[in-house]
Amino acid sequence: MKGLISALSRVSIWMDNVGGIILILMMLLTITDVVLRLFGRPITGTYELVALAGAMVIGFAIPQTSRENGHIIVDIAIEGRSNMVKNIFFVFTKLLGITLFVLLAWYLFQKGNYLHSKGDVSSTLQIPYYPAAYGLAFCCLIESVVLLMEVFRKFGREVKHE
């Protein structure tokens, strides 16, 4: 189990770093486009690239954000409840999240297959959409495993973040 946690940790950190690099490139592209527009030379396809990059940044950041408990938590509904109620709520929300992300991964994988078979590409730069769908499906699968590991960490033996 520790090996799986360690591998998941490395993958999540790698994904977060990739998302950060994409974010930096997206910002540089936007700044360059704005500056070049002042001289009447905008970069063709900036909107398409920024839209795709934005999806990748969000998708690749989700697993590490979950590992770090970086999401907003609204616990007013369980505040003051017993530990048993809090644990039931914790497991229920994690299982709901796992279900959501597995279904989302399945849908995105199917969407990637569809986009690939149809040869669907962006209008200006002719960038194929299917790699983005497959990449986001991968992100959702990793997130579902992260959520599962959170349940094991909460109730399991010796399962800790590394």
Query: Concatenated DSSP letters for 78-127?
Result: TTT--HHHHHHHHHHHHHHHHHHHHHHHHHHHHHHHHHHHHT-B-TTT--
Residue 40 DSSP code: T
The stretch 149-159 carries a mean pLDDT of: 75
Is-contact 147 137, C-beta < 8 A?
Answer: no
Collapsed DSSP state (helix, strand, coil) of residue 157: coil
137 or 160: which leads in pLDDT: 137
Query: Which residues are 121's β-sheet partners?
Result: 128
What are the start-end ranges of the E strands in 12-51? Answer: none
User: At residue 162, does pLDDT exceed 70?
Assistant: no
Collapsed DSSP state (helix, strand, coil) of residue 14: helix
Question: In sequence order, what are the residues at sequence separation of 6 or more whose Cβ sits closer than 8 angstroms to the Cβ of residue 141?
Answer: 101, 102, 105
The stretch 69-91 carries a mean pLDDT of: 83
Grade residue 72 by pLDDT with cuts at 50, 70 and 90.
confident
What are the tens digits of pLDDT across the range 112-133? 999 999 999 999 999 999 999 9
Instruction: Identify the pLDDT of residue 159.
Output: 46
